[in-house]
Structure formats: structure tokens, C-alpha cells
Amino acid sequence: MACPSCAGRSDDNLICVPCTAPLRRALSELPELMRELRCNLTRQNQAGSGNGGRGRETPLPYDVNSSEVHYTVTNTVAAWIRTLDAGDLNDISEDTMTAWCRWLLKRIPRIRGHQDAAQLIDEIMYAHRIIRPAIDRPPDREYVCPCVICGHGVYAAPGAVWVACQRCAEVAERDEDGAVIGYVPEYTVADAHLNRLAVLRDQMLCEQDVLTAVEVLRKETVPAKTMRSWINRGRLPARACSTNVVRDPTGAIFEYVLLYWVDEALTLSVQLPSRPLIDLVNDRVLRGATA
């Protein structure tokens, strides 16, 4: 005899134990997840990174996505309670998700024998699955490189060794089982990082950007006074000049910015003694205090 949900073996031709175990777990977790979702709904939490700027439009006092998820989950659970009703709805002590899920957990045997048990499990599991993306911030990702096929940026999770282009994987050809059979380019995160550093060494930037680039390449601090002394003594000559247009009430003012070669500054910095990274933080604080 086969399970109506997964078509696996079932001794009594009802929903098997491997199918009811995820249902029990989902019903046990739903009340707590719904409490977190209600915090999201009223914007009482910090779901983003906090680094975004303020937009022109005034934000709504509630989160639209959380509201839609809350409506879907509530109506899904309530609909199946009404479907399973056998005159014992009075056992639900209060109108909360905790009471609803407790009522359903006590009626797992009835669910196993219901003609729509497979559909019930699918919908409850779907309701459980859509809550987490609504209450959790997406995992952090780091930029790797532009894809050589589609040109879109490739991002990897922190600590990843290699990563495939997500855009190419979405449009790649697949077989009947959904497995990718088309070509999807893959990139080594370490090699891409080295390539970016090599490109950075060949850039010509302004004084402050050169200082930051040298600190990134050396992974050590470089005093700002040292960089200024190299420029004043001619050890780090300007290699180009860029023009910025500054608008003011009297008209346009052209501002000239000298550019320096990062590789030359990096060569000069090799002779500097090593400084701990905490000095970099102290230097940034002092620069901000004296600005």
C-alpha cells in the first residue's frame, strides 16, 4: 500500500510517518514564527543592514510583504480547521495561532485518514516555508566579478571557495527532472579577488583614494602624513589630472584634482614598518575629529 502524499510505503494506506513528521514540526514552529512576523508587520525590528539611504517617499507604517504572508498563513490554517471540523471546534480555547496549531496537532490521526490529507500537508508546509524569508534578512554576499557570459555581477556567500553565475543558472537549459544541462560559468573566489587587486594596483586615483588602496593591498595602515610627505618631496609624482565641475550661484567652477599611480605608492610603502590594524581605526577617528 502506498502513501497518498509521497507514494511511499504505508502499512494502513494512510499518510505515512515520514510525511506527518514535517507537518508536526511545522505546526510546532508556526506560533513562534507568527509572533516574529507580527513584529515585522509593524516594523518593530531591524530586518535590513541599516546602510541604505532615505528615499523621497514616506514609508508605510507596516510592511506590505509581511502583511501578505500573514494573511496567507492565517487563512490557510483557518481553512483547514474548518475542513476538519467534526463538531469539536469548541476545544479551541482562544482565537490565536498557538491554539489553532495545538488543535491540529491533536488531530494528526484524523488528518492521516482525510481524503485531502496530501493537499493539507502541502499547503501547511508552504505556509511554514514562506514565513522565514519574510522575517529573516537575506544572507550576506560578497562581490566576486562580472560574468563573462551575461555580464551580470556574480556574488558568493562569505567563505565560499567557488561560485556559479546565478543569472546564467536561471536561464540555463534543464532536463525533465529540473537538473541543469546547459553551460553555467563558475568562478574561483580567491582568483577573482587577486584579479581585482591587480586591477587596483594599475589605477590612478586622488590622494585619499590612493592611501585607502595601499592600505587594502598591504592589509596594514599607512600614515596620512607619510603619504603627504611623498607627494611634497616628489617621491610620488602626479601622473594625471581630472577636472570636476562644481556648481555655485555665480556659475560653474572647475576644480582640478591630481591623480597618483597606486603601484608607485605601494612600492614606496614596502619600506614602511608594519603597524597593527588598530592604528587604522585610531587614524580614522583622529581624521574625523580634526576635519
Residue 285 has what pLDDT? 46
Looking at the fold, whether 124 and 175 belong to one and the same domain comes out as no
Looking at the fold, whether 110 and 164 belong to one and the same domain comes out as no
Confidence of residue 251 (pLDDT cuts 50, 70, 90): low
- Distance, in Å, from the CA atom of 79 to the CA atom of 70, rounded to the nearest integer, reads 14
Which residues contact residue 75 at a Cβ distance below 8 angstroms, ignoring those fewer than 6 apart?
none
**What are the backbone angles phi and psi of residue 123, rounded to the nearest 5°?**
-75, -40
pTM: 0.47
Residue 248 has what pLDDT? 61
- Residue of higher predicted confidence among 262 and 278: 262
Looking at the fold, whether 102 and 149 belong to one and the same domain comes out as no
- Number of structural domains (the chain) is 3
Rounded average pLDDT over 140-159: 85
Looking at the fold, whether 231 and 251 belong to one and the same domain comes out as yes
Residue 11 lies in a domain: no
Residue 51 lies in a domain: no
Instruction: Assign 245 to helix, strand or coil.
Output: strand
Looking at the fold, whether 149 and 181 belong to one and the same domain comes out as yes
Looking at the fold, whether 42 and 110 belong to one and the same domain comes out as yes
| Least confident piece of the model among 63-77, 105-119, 174-188, 212-226 | 174-188
Rounded average pLDDT over 88-99: 78
Residue 55 has what pLDDT? 47
**Residue 156 is part of which domain span?**
142-193
Span 195-242, pLDDT tens digits: 888 888 888 888 888 888 888 888 788 888 888 999 999 999 988 888
- Measured CA to CA in angstroms, residue 168 lies from 102, 147, 189, 244 at distances of 44, 9, 17, 39
Residue 12 lies in a domain: no
Residue 249 has what pLDDT? 62
Sign of torsion over alpha carbons 15, 21, 27, 28: positive
- Residue of higher predicted confidence among 124 and 218: 124
Provide the grid cell at 73. Answer: 498563513
